[in-house]
Amino acid sequence: MLKNKLAPSILNADFSCLRDVLFLLEQCQVDLIHLDVMDGMFVPNITFGPKIVASIRKNTHLPLSVHLMIEKPERFIKEFSSVLEDKDCLIIHAEASLHLDRTLQMIIDTGLKVGIALNPSTPLEMIKFVLEKLNLILIMTVNPGFGGQQFIPAMLPKIIYAKEMASNSKNDIEIQVDGGVNMENILQINKAGANILVVGSEIFGADNPAEMIKSIQKKLQISEKTQ
């Protein structure tokens, strides 16, 4: 069984004190950090690029899960890989790259872990023939672009189906879920088959983010023991 992991998304954190945010996440011993790179084309929002990712990489030991919400990600694989380490995962969107098989191979060749993300309306069939190239499937449970949106309930059966696909694959594939994950729905999402839970505003919108992280970690640990 794959380990349950908490991946805080720093999208809604205070960027004026990023080092403190990273320190807090290290102190809380989260499993990885989820970084949302947006280009204003693939999604209607702009965040940050390789330079900020490089600074984050230099200031934490935690593995990074870099979620590229950018058009034609193949243009930037080299640049991102040059600032990342082998323990990190580069995630591209299936909808954003025309020659997906080739782009995934480009990531494999860098030595990074390979992830593919699917928008809510994108069928899982789209990745059926590239499964062997993947370490991770990211199921978007909101339309990407912003933190603080509502989880789309119709995504639960999609998570179950993704887990089934992953289990039938020769390689170990983790299922990451991103968007609207909170204290109320996290167990249901985990039980549906997601072992990596991205949580943004539930943590950084809380009065005490560290306490919130601890509560989530406890839930995930108990859930792991009872599975």
| Catalytic machinery residues | 36, 178
Query: Does residue 34 bind ligand DX5 (CB under 6 A)?
Result: yes
Indicate the residue among 63 and 145 with the shorter CB distance to ligand DX5.
145
Indicate the residue among 46 and 99 with the shorter CB distance to ligand DX5.
46
Q: Which of 31, 88, 174, 178 binds ligand DX5 (CB under 6 A)?
A: 178
Query: Does residue 73 bind ligand DX5 (CB under 6 A)?
Result: no
Decide which of Zn ion, ligand DX5, none touches 195; Cβ closer than 5 to 8 Å per partner kind: none
CA pair distance 150, 141, nearest whole angstrom: 8
User: By the criterion CB under 5 A, which residues form the site for Zn ion?
Assistant: 36, 67, 178
Please give the full DSSP string across the chain, using - where no structure is assigned.
Answer: -PPPEEEEB-TTS-GGGHHHHHHHHHHTT-S-EEEEEEBSSSSS-B---HHHHHHHHHT--S-EEEEEE-SSGGGTHHHHHTT--TT-EEEEEGGG-SSHHHHHHHHHHHT-EEEEEE-TTS-GGGGGGGGGG-SEEEEESS-TT-SSPPP-TTHHHHHHHHHHHHHTSSS--EEEEESS--TTTHHHHHHHT--EEEE-HHHHTSSSHHHHHHHHHHHHHHHHHT-
Least distance to Zn ion, CB of residue 11, Å: 7
Least distance to ligand DX5, CB of residue 224, Å: 21
Determine the interface stretch with ligand DX5 among 79-87, 106-114, 189-197, 200-208 (rule: CB under 6 A). 200-208
Which residues, listed in sequence order, are joined to residue 6 by a DSSP beta bridge?
197
Query: Does residue 37 bind ligand DX5 (CB under 6 A)?
Result: no
Q: Which of 73, 144, 193, 209 binds ligand DX5 (CB under 6 A)?
A: 144
Decide which of Zn ion, ligand DX5, none touches 31; Cβ closer than 5 to 8 Å per partner kind: none
Q: Which residues bind ligand DX5 (CB under 6 A)?
A: 9, 11-12, 34, 36, 67, 142, 144-149, 178-181, 198-202
